[in-house]
Amino acid sequence: MSLLPSTDDVSAEQEGEIQVLGVTEDGTADVFDALASDTARLVLTAIYDEPAPPSALADRLDMSVQNVSYHLNNLEDAGIVQVADTRYSEKGKEMNVYAPADDPVVVFVGTETRKTGFIDLLKRLVGASALLLLGSVLLYIYQGFGLGAGGGSESTIRALLAVPGFEFLLGGLFILSLTVIWWRWNQ
């Protein structure tokens, strides 16, 4: 163990905006090149499981540090991973800790019109889901303070299904699902 300060609080959480790349856009070839080998995909999967420096990834994957470092450099150049922290080895050497990039990447194959429609649908679904969740929580709170119907000595599952907020959430998810199916059918 190193006497130098190091933390283990690096997360694989991605908090940025989703990048939707069309097949012919700048950067897409770099993403395809970086993910072309099985080894690169194994390294990327390991980073999503737990961010780590190249030496720790090499140990977990039973690979050489040089091989892992090569693929990490390619993944970083493509914008798929990033250096999220610095740790110190037992010998005091500074090591970069790699984690998924803040902005997730989606490669979309299709016309520009369909890509725009896909991005618009994603934005609408995220907004609609947030409103649906907010409405469900408000109905649950409303019912929880005795302002709505409910109560009694029902079983837990039956009681949950009787909560207006939960019913609202299920109904809203059903409507969102129908909307996605309709959009997909009409494309």
Q: pTM, whole model, 2 decimals?
A: 0.57
Which residue spans within 23-125 are E strands per DSSP? 81-88, 94-100, 105-108
Cα distances from 13 to residues 8, 17, 26, 121, 131, in angstroms, run 14, 12, 25, 23, 23
For 154, other C-beta atoms within 10 Å of its C-beta total: 12
Average pLDDT over residues 161-184: 70
Which amino acid makes up residue 173?
Answer: L
pLDDT in tens, 71-107: 999 999 999 999 988 888 788 889 999 999 888 887 7
Query: Coil, strand, or helix at residue 51?
Result: coil
For the record, the structure tokens of 35 come out as 């993910």
Instruction: Give the Cα separation of 84 and 46 in Å (integer).
Output: 15
Integer-rounded Cα Rg, in Å, for the chain is 23
**Residue 32 reports pLDDT greater than 80:** yes
